[in-house]
Structure 1
Amino acid sequence: MQSHPNVQAVQDALDAAGARNAAGAPGRVKVLDEPVHTAAAAAAALGIEVGQIANSLIFDADGEPLLVLTSGAHRVDTARVAALLGIGKVKRAGADFVRDHTGQVIGGVSPLGHPKPLRTLVDEDLGQYDEIWAAGGVPQAVFPITFAELVRVTSGTVASVA
């Protein structure tokens, strides 16, 4: 699974960005024994708090893709996000929309490694953790990163999204 094209794309993006984990080491994608399709499953597999999981959620924001990286402990308030961005409607994207814009499947969408950059919001509540974990392009791949690094490598905007 380490050689899956999506995992490699995420690792290449981490390398290109010079991403670092909480220990200051280069960011590395880790492949788990089993897929983790939810924040709770990922947290249990990693032995961490569910809030440390950075869910990568793709939304349809008036027809354009929007990536919201939110704490696994939260649900995105789409009305709040729409108001924040000054757009009409933000709705959860379907599987085809997600795959078309990320090249990845729901449950494995990474914050990076997409065919082209996506407009990105990063949940400010992720900032309370020294280390957070995000999906690595497939449901059984994850990687550790700090909040500041996540914001930097995604060119994300920090926001209250829950």
Structure 2
Amino acid sequence: MSKSVNRVQKALEDLKLDATIQHMPESTRTAEDAATACKCSVGQIVKSMIFEGAETGKLKLLLVSGKHTVDLEQAAEVFGEPLIRADPKRVRSETGFAIGGVAPLGHLSATDTWMDTALLDHDLVWAAAGAPNAVFSLPPQELKDATASRIFQIG
């Protein structure tokens, strides 16, 4: 296992979450690919997206349902400041994850985290586990609690 996947596994254990990392035979890099691999709806896929606050420069982790996209035009209303895409090198150095394998937990440093309310509509959600083909599943409320997420609504 890679260092990133090991870090996610340790975070799951430290948080006493009943989740097992699964390595899929194909990539789970896109929400559609992940839904196919996990045999679930696209809405159950957690996209872990890192943005930077345009005013504060702080990284923000958005846990977004696979069926949604983040409208950066409306971001200031929801997140208190405009958001810009974070530099991939900064994402890797501060979270420990490369874009495409960012997990919702196991980051190298604490990150403000926000969860799409639509994820709470499901009994189980699937999230990246630190590699393009590694995932884990758990109830969304457990993920919200484990990541100390604030809830937001898209649309």
Count of aligned residue pairs for this structure pair: 153
Partner AA of 2:4 in structure 1: N
Instruction: Confirm or deny that 1:157 pairs with 2:150.
Output: yes
**Residue of structure 1 in register with 2:78 after alignment:** 84
Question: For 1:22-101, what aligned pairs fall within 5 Å after superposition?
Answer: 26-62=18-54, 63-87=57-81, 89-101=82-94
- Is the 1:80–1:161 contact (alpha carbons within 8 Å) kept by the matching residues of 2? no
Q: What residue ranges of structure 1 are gaps of 5+ in the alignment?
A: 20-25
Give 3-state SS (helix, strand or coil) of 2:78's partner: helix
**Residue of structure 2 in register with 1:22 after alignment:** none
The sequence identity of aligned pairs, in percent, is 37
Distance in 2 (alpha carbons) for counterparts of 1:38 and 1:142: 12
Q: Which runs of 4+ in 1 moved over 3 A?
A: none
Q: What residue ranges of structure 2 are gaps of 5+ in the alignment?
A: none
Give 3-state SS (helix, strand or coil) of 1:33's partner: coil
Q: CA deviation at 1:91?
A: 1.3
**Residue of structure 1 in register with 2:134 after alignment:** 141
RMSD: 1.2
- Is the 1:29–1:136 contact (alpha carbons within 8 Å) kept by the matching residues of 2? yes
Instruction: Confirm or deny that 1:129 pairs with 2:118.
Output: no
Distance in 2 (alpha carbons) for counterparts of 1:84 and 1:74: 15
